[in-house]
Amino acid sequence: MPLTVETYASAAEAQRALGPEARYHGGGTLVMRDVNAGDTRFRRLVRTTDPTLSRIAPQGGRLEIGAGVTMAEIIDSRECRFLAAAARAVGGPAVREQATVGGNLFAEHPYGDFTAALLALDATVTTADGRERPLPDLLTERARAGASTTARLLVTKVSVARPAEGTFRFAKVSRVKPKGISVLSIAAWLPLSGGRVSGARVAFGAMGPTPLRHPAVERALEGRALDPTGIAPALAAVSDGLSPQDDAIATAWYRRQVAPVHLRRLLLGEP
């Protein structure tokens, strides 16, 4: 089916151009797969050259990252170094040159590991209409309406907390290394006060229809030391808060069984 490609100078114009037969083209790693597969659900590709989508800007204790910033740019950026490990979890080097922060928000299971990192860093998402919302709200809407429908929302930037040195951890578990699809990924922001966790945020990728936070694990870590005794309640709580599904990489049962193992390794800093 013939496609048309529309390029707009501003994100607002591109947002207005999105409609039922349109898909937004950001980096292209998701959309071009569908184009190449002959997907007939859309006939128009909408893109923008708006330079604001490529900005990385500190704002007080937070960091604003344009939705068009690529994973390679995250890895190269000094400001984003706490996110480098999560960015490296996306595809291979060539994919990371194209894959964007905004696109990862709409990557369907088992992809979207970078979004798990954003979740753990208290991310908010701003759309081209200027509305800012918590990332979990966008993901809830995505789970309800489907990624391709929600993708008609043109995200312009995300804002994340800037964690103190050494308090943010990320791990991706895959059968093939260094590039493999997730069995699961875990992101944990673990602020410490007097050697004990205060205000933990823990998120999982590939453990539900979208990346998800795990409030029960976060509560179980509150006031605890990051040692085998301190983390035991969190490990006991982890399996119940997950909604894994079967796929070609792993069964839901397997994912649930190994979640405490990998959470323990992440929390204790084990390889």
Partner 1 sequence: MARKPVEFTLNGTETAVFVEEGANLLDVLRQGVGDLTPKYGCAQGGCGACTVRIGGRPRLACLTLAETVVGAEIETVAGLGKNGALDPLQDAFMTHFAAQCGYCTSGMLMAAKALLTREPSPTREQVVQAISGNLCRCTGYEPIIQAILSVAEGRTAGRIPA
Q: Which residues bind partner 1 (CB under 8 A)?
A: 2-5, 7, 25, 28-29, 32-33, 35-37, 45, 47, 72, 91-95, 97-98, 178-179
Minimum CB–partner distance for residue 103 and partner 1 (Å): 11
Minimum distance, C-beta of residue 96 to partner 1, in the bound complex (Å): 8
Map tokens 């490609």 to a residue: 5
Closest to partner 1 by CB, 93 or 134: 93
Residue 267 zone, left/alpha/beta (φ > 0; ψ -120 to 50; rest): alpha
Question: In angstroms, what is the minimal distance from the CB of 162 to partner 1?
Answer: 26
Q: Which is nearer to partner 1, 2 or 60 (CB)?
A: 2
Smallest gap from Cβ 95 to partner 1, in A, equals: 6
CA–CA dist 258, 33 (Å, integer) = 31
Angstrom distance (rounded) from CA 167 to CA 86: 14
Contact 172, 89 (CB under 8 A): yes
CB closer to partner 1, 31 vs 187: 31
User: How far, in Å, CA of 90 to CA of 73, rounded?
Assistant: 13
**Closest approach of Cβ 183 to partner 1, in Å?**
17
Nearer to partner 1, 45 or 249 (CB): 45
Q: 13 or 141: whose CB is closer to partner 1? A: 13
